[in-house]
Chains A and B, each alone.
Chain A
Amino acid sequence: MTTAEEKRLKNFAVDIRIQCINEISKVGVGHVGGCLSIVDTLACLYGGIMRIDPKNPGWDNRDRFILSKGHAGPALYAALALRGYFPMDMLNTLNQPPTNLPSHADKNRTPGVDMTTGSLGQGFSSAAGMALAGKLKGENHWIYTLLGDGECQEGQVWETAMFSVQKKLSKLIALIDCNGKQLDGTIERVGGNLNYAAIFAAFGWHVIEVANGHDVKEIWTAIQAAKERDDRPSVLILHTVKGKGWGYAERLENNHNFTVSPQQAAEAAAEFEQQRV
């Protein structure tokens, strides 16, 4: 990755952060923490990794993205709008009927969303189904799916993990946003800290740990590494910070879902601007 490329992606991440918090401030409340922790990953995916055509969201040969942690919809919407899937001002309608931007990603309402999600664990399964369909049809596109670390407490996730290896779904790339927290507290306190890298490896996945899940260069490199195996699915274990980029959000103990005023959105935007390169 060239320095120019890296800068471009970092700045794309800044734009996504600004738009995401702005969006949430329009309705006044949202899943801020888990949105901000995945922004840099989204910047990579929608900033050049994925083969997409915003003017043709249903393009057969496109790479697919399934946001299994569907409550991070606002972050995805920001990336999609910035890429031109729909007009930027639609972001102002988040969660305000009659909107096409509901809290949890919905393929039937938002251009660019590949699957309807919201009930945790299910997006992962449908991503495996989509990867299987691609394999059965002899297609070459990649299928990316993004899960939360809390989400991995759902048993269905491990059903899918088992299935994906047995079916050799090598075009499936899972990304786990390990921001260490869930609604009721830290992962450690609520569900128990588990070494997801070791567990996915034990299931037979090709595992790449990303020590800094906010470093676009590291994420990019990890995805390239993921694509090298053609006999098994890959998973990126992204070590992230819930609320990353906005000091107030990072420091807030319960930063899963909280109110954001226009004033706060402006403060956050100013802070994000400092991150522009």
Chain B
Amino acid sequence: MPAVIAPNRAAIKDPEMRTVYADVLENLIRKDKRIVALDADLMRAIGTFKLWDQYPDNIIECGIAEANMIGVAAGLSNEGLIPFAHSFGAFASRRDFDQIFMSCSYANLNVKIIGSDPGVVAQLNGGTHTANEDIAMMRAVPNMTVLDVTDVVMARQILPQIAATNGVFYIRYPRCAVPRVYEEGSSFSVGKAVRLRDGKDLTIIAAGIEVSEALDAADILQSEGIEARVVDMFTIKPLDESEVIAAAHETGAIVVAENHNCHGGLYSAVAECLAKTCPVKMEQVANKDRFGDVGSLKYLMEEYGLTAQDIVRKARAVLGR
């Protein structure tokens, strides 16, 4: 069924995203022995540790050596295996960027890179472990698909799709439990944005943890008489340009909300698309080019201006109110 908002989503308590990741991987491995999960000493962090003994030929511990891990993944792919390589987003993007670029994308191989705990989701691991530039980096690499996974329903659907699709994927993926957005049974297509809620006054384009905030913001705006369209742009590259252009044509104003630096991420992708075809007033909710910090998710979202209230303020601003 088309992807829709889960009714009563606020009341739903989902398992941690990492539990879902491990479950999905296990199912994939059981169906297809070519699936291999690599890690750089963070299996306990992402939840795949429990699979190690049971699937020794499919769980590859690489130790604290991310660059080699990506090279090994490329080599495995070159021999027909299907690698999922994980580290925290900060390391999965920054420490092994050249390896992803050359051994994976440039070499046109089949490698899925999981960059967990994007942006503020790093929480107590703080600024050194915060990935606020991974989208910017990966967008500029040809032969690369970039995603930011929204919730458990999407994860369960999209990870198998990615496993079955040849190519290089960089996937932002939180480890903790995140607010539910989607109804069970929702289906997704890599590259196709989800219009979660329609509206005529403006569009909020969001990804990852900002999607739930965008929906909350739309509720608040509705009570002020503002009808906001909400779009989940979970595939950031390639951008769903037709959805972006429709938002510009049909609603005339856009707020982009992302858990990433204000430079080079989803906002930039949307602005690049519209600048040449249909420039409209835009505002952004994003990290304003600051390093991350330690804190709870709630604290960090408030500190860095990534909450529903921040989206509401920017929505009013983009409408000149």
Contacts and interface: CB of A to CB of B under 8 A. Distances in A.
Contacts of A127: 75
Nearest to B56: A136
A156 B81 contact: no
B75 A156 contact: no
Interface string A99-131: 000000011100000111111011111111111
Contacts of B71: 121-126, 128-129, 156, 160
Contacts of B81: 133, 136
Q: Which secondary structure dominates chain A's binding surface?
A: helix
B103 interface: yes
Given A125-B75, A162-B65, 18 more contacts: A115-B75, A115-B107, A116-B103, A119-B99, A121-B67, A122-B71, A122-B103, A125-B71, A129-B77, A130-B79, A132-B60, A132-B72, A133-B78, A156-B67, A156-B71, A156-B99, A159-B65, A159-B68
Contacts of B185: none
A133 B75 contact: yes
A126 B67 contact: no
9 contacts: A116-B106, A124-B71, A125-B74, A128-B68, A129-B76, A131-B75, A132-B72, A132-B76, A159-B63
B80 interface: yes
B57 A163 contact: no
A27 B70 CA distance: 34
Contacts of A160: 68, 71-72
B98 A119 contact: yes
B73 interface: yes
A166 interface: yes
Contacts of A117: 102
Contacts of B65: 156, 159, 162-163
B107 A125 contact: no
A159 B99 CA distance: 13
Interface centre among A114, A119, A136, A155 (most CB of B within 10 A): A136
Contact of B67 (A116, A125, A131): A125
A162 to B, nearest CB: 7
Interface string B41-84: 00000000000000001001011010110111111111111000
A129 B36 CA distance: 12
A191 interface: no
Interface in A9-42: none
Given A122-B71, A156-B67, A116 B76 contact: no
Interface residues of A, number: 32
B189 interface: no
A116 B75 contact: no
A165 B170 CA distance: 29
Interface centre among B71, B74, B80, B103 (most CB of A within 10 A): B71
Nearest to A130: B75
Nearest to A114: B78
Contacts of A108: 107-108
Contacts of B75: 115, 125-133
A98 to B, nearest CB: 18
Contacts of A122: 67, 71, 74, 98-99, 102-103
Nearest to B38: A129
Interface centre among A125, A159, A163 (most CB of B within 10 A): A125
B106 A125 contact: no
A116 B102 contact: yes
A133 B79 CA distance: 6
A73 to B, nearest CB: 14
Contacts of A106: 107
Contacts of B102: 116-119, 122
Interface centre among B72, B75, B76 (most CB of A within 10 A): B75
Given A107-B107, A108-B107, A128 B72 contact: yes
Contacts of A118: 102
Nearest to B61: A166
Contacts of B79: 129-130, 133-134, 137
A127 B103 CA distance: 11
A84 B72 CA distance: 30
Contacts of A136: 36, 57, 81
B43 to A, nearest CB: 15
A193 to B, nearest CB: 25
Interface centre among A116, A124, A126, A129 (most CB of B within 10 A): A129
Given A122-B99, A134-B79, A136-B57, A163 B72 contact: yes
Contacts of A159: 63, 65, 67-68
Interface centre among B57, B72, B74, B107 (most CB of A within 10 A): B72
A-B pairs, 7 with minimum CB distance: A129-B75, A125-B71, A133-B79, A159-B68, A159-B65, A129-B72, A126-B75
A122 B73 CA distance: 11
Contact of B72 (A114, A121, A125): A125
B46 to A, nearest CB: 19
Interface in A143-187: 155-156, 159-160, 162-163, 166
A160 B67 CA distance: 9
B265 to A, nearest CB: 26
Nearest to A125: B71
Contacts of A114: 78
Contact of B107 (A116, A132, A133, A163): A116
Contacts of B76: 129-130, 132-133
A137 B81 CA distance: 10
